[in-house]
Amino acid sequence: MDAIIAKLQEWGAFYGLKIVAAIIVLIVGRWIAKAIRKLVKKILIKRNIDPTLISFVGNLAYIALLTFVIIAALAQLGIQTTSFIAVIGAAGLAVGLALQGGLANFAAGFLMIVFRPFKVGHFIEGAGATGIVEEIHIFTTQLRTLDNKTVIIPNAKLMGDNIINYSAKDTRRVDLVVGVSYTDDLQKVKQVLQDIVKKDSRILQDPASMIAVKELADSSVNFVVRLWVKTEDYWDVYFDTTENVKKRFDAEGISIPFPQQDVHLYEHK
């Protein structure tokens, strides 16, 4: 009986220290995991990240750290954790392969929300679609086209292609090409175009507008008209200027030629 008690005392002394060490690892590790979760959430909140993503990332970090803490606690008890790590790794690999597309969309959505290549309300072009950004989710981005259609694009596809953000800058340049006849007075054409530009208060003075002969085409002399406007005025100025050019040219007797060919007939005797 004394031998059994002595053996139990020996085991208690040996395993007791390990149990205490394991409990300490669990308590301290859990505290550290919670502190890191709070820190991650605090950083994401300061960067104005989507609240849903903040919660998801914070909890994901906490679960990952807590998993390592549990494995470390089991190691303190003398339990071989190699098999646990292998099982967790295999499970993670299987889940990753099964959700490969979803994870790619999630990663792209995370980068999109962090780096903000565009925001809700911006007019963008990407992944073969053009429209106004209505919603940015973790896995998809929703656009509204100019003819009021809804386009839902996977984030991985959107981030994997070129993105043109038409709303990112405060100003944009309106580019127009105006063709006139070879018989028209080029100086008069230029003065008329300058007058049209001068009378539109929406066209900015700085940067200055540019009006110049672009090319001598087959049927016309083409002028390039480059105007700087506020981004929100782009299409109004584009359409109004095009209309004003036609009206002024008609009033000034300046012709806008259409493609034509000269056909010469020769009589053979």
CA angle 126, 128, 129 (to 5 degrees): 70
The continuous run of DSSP H or E covering 118 comes out as none
Average pLDDT over residues 120-148: 90
Average pLDDT over residues 55-84: 71
Average pLDDT over residues 124-152: 91
**Cα separation values, 173 from 62, 95, 209, 230, 260, Å:** 49, 48, 9, 9, 31
Higher pLDDT, 185 or 6: 185
pLDDT recorded at residue 98: 47
The whole model's pTM is what? Answer: 0.62
Confidence of residue 28 (pLDDT cuts 50, 70, 90): confident
Is residue 233 classed as helix, strand or coil in its secondary structure? helix
Which two structure tokens, joined as six digits, stand for 213?
A: 């002969």
Higher pLDDT, 248 or 14: 248
Higher pLDDT, 176 or 93: 176
Helices (H), 77-181: 82-98, 100-115, 155-159
In the chain, the domains with their CATH numbers are 2-98 (1.10.287.1260), 118-165 (2.30.30.60), 171-252 (3.30.70.100)
Q: Tell me: pLDDT of 174 over 50.
A: yes
Average pLDDT over residues 92-110: 65
The continuous run of DSSP H or E covering 210 comes out as strand 210-216
pLDDT recorded at residue 215: 94
What's the burial of 22, exposed, middle or buried (CB within 10 Å: 0-12/13-18/19+)?
Answer: buried
Is residue 61 classed as helix, strand or coil in its secondary structure? helix
Q: How far apart are CA 132 and CA 250, in angstroms?
A: 37
The model's pLDDT over 193-220, given as tens digits with 9 standing for 90+, comes to 999 999 999 999 999 999 999 999 988 9
Q: Tell me: pLDDT of 99 over 50.
A: no
Average pLDDT over residues 143-151: 94
